[in-house]
Structure 1
Amino acid sequence: MIDNLPPLREVIAAHELSAKKQLGQNFLLDLNLTHKIARQAGDLTGCDVLEVGPGPGGLTRGLLACGARHVLAIEKDPRALPALEQIAAAYPGRLTVITGDALAIDPLAHLTPPIRIAANLPYNVGTELLIRWLTPRDWPPFWQSLTLMFQKEVAERIVAKPGSKAYGRLALLAQWRAEARIVMTLPPEAFTPAPKVHSAVVHLTALPEPRFPADPAVLTQVTSAGFNQRRKMLRASLRGLHPQIEGLLEGAGIPPTARAEEIELERFCTLARALKAAREA
């Protein structure tokens, strides 16, 4: 038992909190597991933590028990509020709950650095939130680390290496500015209701600066064009970016006949720098 609050099954029954498919909800009821996920977020003492989609509050309880200075929980489902209020009362002054859509709320008004993000993300918004957190206007970002639960397939795309089927824009985006690794996998039966797929927790630590220099907008253009037509050779998929794209590819050490999934991050950054210079010439 991590605190003196009731087990999550009792909390869900008491507040009639059956998971809603349209909200992407799958609740993790084992408090030992939620506590373990919270520990993967690192040393939380002295940190504010942003949590999206707390539901009945299993991970919230883990984060507070692990010593988080303050947790800001954003929850779209008003049915979960009484359960979260119960947790707030057990941890006075350390939990703030905001009702609403995490995609529409700016959490920074409620958080004080250092900030970590930890969440069992709703399946339907998880990838979009991750991309937002990885692509702020300024870097380093407001967060030190992200500890996030995804479908296992999405988690594998985040940590994928060149040459694998999972390798794509998400891997490049995550690995350009962060250290990413899978720290836990969970079977469907760990959740209520059980999803059809396995899940995995990914821990991303923000790098002080990107691994290789590149203009974010140009790098996005290059990787989007390359991976949107991943079966095509790069000289064809990137043709619309510059009239001399074959020469730019060769200058970046990339065979024009290669496909996007064969090219490592450093070469994509080299190409993005060359493309920007060619456009400005």
Structure 2
Amino acid sequence: GRLEVLHGDALAVDAAARLTPPVRVVANLPYNVGTELLAGWLTPPAWPPFWQSLTLMFQKEVAERIVAGPGSKAYGRLAILAQWRCEARIVMTLPPEAFTPAPKVHSAVVHLTALPAPRFPADAKVLNRIVAAGFNQRRKMLRASLKGVAPEIEAKLLAAGIAPTLRAEEVSLEAFCALARIVAAG
């Protein structure tokens, strides 16, 4: 009576409606939808989420993007989403030979623990819009990649303590949150 097997699309299942807290998700996600599932779990309408922790297997490169810090090539939108509201760490890496049949890639298990509140205050939708625009054009300076996000973006970047000539991968999570607060204020 405690196990229910659902046959269907994991992207279409409303897990929060089917589970009773405390929830700890442990999964070897299909690599083709793993990032999309994680992004959905990290961006619920209200925080804290229905889950306490996520222990998920990803392709190693995706796992490295989740835990990456500013200045690294792996740092991007996924790192910001995960680290804004969670403690995230790689707890295990696995070679292809650990599986039958062996995939062509290495894998890694990431453990994410939900924080009671985001690390820094920011409107989730505004932060997501800024981060998406900034990392969508990684090679451009922020003053160019964010010009469609808000009027007078260069002044807003400066007010947040961000040099307009920086690229998104050079900006800390805290600075992105500061910019989101300034943009949200108008």
Q: TM-score range by the shorter chain?
A: over 0.9
Say yes or no: does 1:219 pair with 2:104.
Answer: no
Deviation of the 1:124 alpha carbon: 1.1
CA distance in 2, matches of 1:143, 1:151: 22
CA distance in 2, matches of 1:263, 1:248: 14
The higher-RCO structure (CA 8 Å, 6+ apart) is 2
Q: Which amino acid in structure 2 is aligned with residue 265 of structure 1?
A: L
Aligned partner of 1:207 in structure 2 is 115
Which consecutive residues of structure 1, in runs of 5 or more, have no partner in the other structure?
Answer: 1-92
Aligned pairs for 1:115-126 within 5 A:
115-126=23-34
Say yes or no: does 1:260 pair with 2:168.
Answer: yes
CA distance in 2, matches of 1:160, 1:118: 21
Aligned partner of 1:188 in structure 2 is 96
Q: Which amino acid in structure 1 is aligned with residue 16 of structure 2?
A: L
CA distance in 2, matches of 1:110, 1:224: 31
CA distance in 1, matches of 2:20, 2:150: 44
Using a 3 Å threshold, how does the CA distance of structure 1 residues 109 and 259 change in structure 2: closer, same or farther?
closer
Q: Which amino acid in structure 2 is aligned with residue 169 of structure 1?
A: R
Deviation of the 1:94 alpha carbon: 3.4
Aligned partner of 1:136 in structure 2 is 44
Which consecutive residues of structure 2, in runs of 5 or more, have no partner in the other structure?
Answer: none
Say yes or no: does 1:230 pair with 2:129.
Answer: no
Q: Which amino acid in structure 2 is aligned with residue 253 of structure 1?
A: G
Higher Cα Rg, which structure: 1
Percent identity (aligned): 77
Helix, strand or coil: the match of 1:144? strand
- Give the TM-score, by structure 1 length: 0.65
CA distance in 1, matches of 2:100, 2:48: 36
Deviation of the 1:243 alpha carbon: 2.4
Q: Which residue of the other structure, out of 12, 19, 24, is the alignment partner of 1:111?
A: 19
Using a 3 Å threshold, how does the CA distance of structure 1 residues 253 and 101 change in structure 2: closer, same or farther?
same
Runs of 4+ in 1 over 4 A off after TM superposition: none
- Give the TM-score, by structure 2 length: 0.98
Q: CA RMSD in A?
A: 0.9
CA distance in 1, matches of 2:119, 2:109: 23
Q: Which amino acid in structure 1 is aligned with residue 148 of structure 2?
A: G
